[in-house]
């Protein structure tokens, strides 16, 4: 199937990044959000990030202008119905995602492929609530989308081969690399990454190390570009906790029990960079450890 038009639900951090890479790759993009302010902010971010790529010689000024012209916005979800591919990039709550797909269903073309950028929720379960489980996939981009090379492709139990091959071709056209994962809680990247972050929080909780020493140890001792607590702040502590709960509930193994300290930070509203406080306090000139 030839994909030419792409509808993206959610203009937040992931949604605007996905819109960016699809527009650069030559797709016509229709970006949806519940807030006009959110859409305007997303367009400004895309413009700024494209300008950064121009300044670094990654794309030309003409490429940037063409990419920006390919992105249209709408606050009406059903406008996305006539696109060839829909990517849901809304908040990581299953009820929200289900409601989005249910609202879209009556307005879809028979050939439209549905995908979700979920980082952990069952693709099979999301697909089962639609009229086309065979044309439904997990399409998980990494953050920040314009920079990160990987896309996880997750097949639900009903996903057909044509849909999978179509999505492989889309990833290749984006200039990214696909990693195919089976539909088990948190897939590949987050099945490994988030428990590592959770263990780092336990290491802090038990007093084995400070925020600074834990992050330095992993950066210098394991050659990680960011320490696990710094990375948790970047991802969002609420997202980390949500994924740990999906693992804990889905696999029924105590090794996936979320650290109580992670829960406490989320309860406090200290969610990381987006709320200006997490394992670091970002309100000053330089981040300061909060513990």
140 in catalytic set: yes
List the catalytic residue out of 32, 117, 122, 190: 190
Q: Is 168 exposed, middle or buried (0-12, 13-18, 19+ CB in 10 A)?
A: middle
213 in catalytic set: no
List the catalytic residue out of 122, 152, 198, 230: 152
Burial 17-41 (b: 16+ CB within 10 A, else e): bbbbbbbbbebbbbbbbeeeebbee
| Dist CA 4 CA 106 (whole Å) | 21
120 in catalytic set: no
List the catalytic residue out of 119, 120, 122, 198: 119
List the catalytic residue out of 116, 140, 198, 230: 140
Cβ partners under 8 Å of residue 44, min gap 6: none
152 in catalytic set: yes
Q: How many CA atoms lie within 13 A of 49 on its CB side?
A: 21
**206 membership: H or E segment, kind and range:** none
Q: Which residues are catalytic?
A: 119, 140, 152, 190
């Amino acid at each position: 199937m030839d994909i030419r038009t792409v509808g993206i639900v959610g203009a937040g951090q992931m949604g605007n990044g996905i819109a960016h890479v699809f527009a650069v790759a030559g797709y016509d993009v229709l970006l949806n959000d519940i807030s006009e302010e959110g859409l305007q902010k997303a367009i400004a971010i895309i413009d700024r990030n494209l300008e950064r790529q121009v300044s670094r010689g990654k794309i030309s000024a003409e490429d940037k202008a063409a990419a920006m012209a390919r992105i249209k916005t709408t606050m009406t979800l059903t406008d996305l119905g006539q696109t060839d591919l829909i990517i849901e990039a809304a908040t990581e709550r299953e009820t929200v995602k289900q409601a989005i797909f249910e609202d879209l269903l009556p307005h879809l073309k028979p050939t439209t492929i549905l995908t979700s950028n979920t980082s952990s929720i069952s693709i099979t379960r999301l697909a089962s609530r639609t009229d086309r489980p065979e044309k439904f996939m997990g399409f998980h981009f990494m953050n920040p989308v314009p920079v990160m090379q990987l896309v996880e492709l997750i097949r639900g139990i009903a996903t057909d081969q044509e849909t999978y091959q179509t999505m492989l071709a889309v990833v290749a056209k984006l200039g990214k690399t696909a990693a195919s994962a089976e539909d088990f809680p948190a897939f590949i990247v987050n099945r490994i990454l988030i428990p590592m972050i959770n263990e780092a929080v336990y290491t802090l909780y038990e007093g084995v190390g400070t925020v600074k020493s834990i992050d330095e140890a992993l950066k210098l001792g394991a050659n990680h570009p960011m320490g696990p607590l710094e990375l948790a702040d970047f991802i969002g502590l609420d997202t980390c906790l949500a994924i740990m709960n999906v693992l804990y509930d889905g696999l029924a193994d105590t090794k996936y029990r979320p650290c109580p300290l992670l829960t406490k930070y989320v309860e406090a509203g200290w969610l990381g960079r987006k709320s200006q406080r997490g394992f670091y306090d970002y309100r000053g000139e330089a981040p300061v450890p909060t513990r």
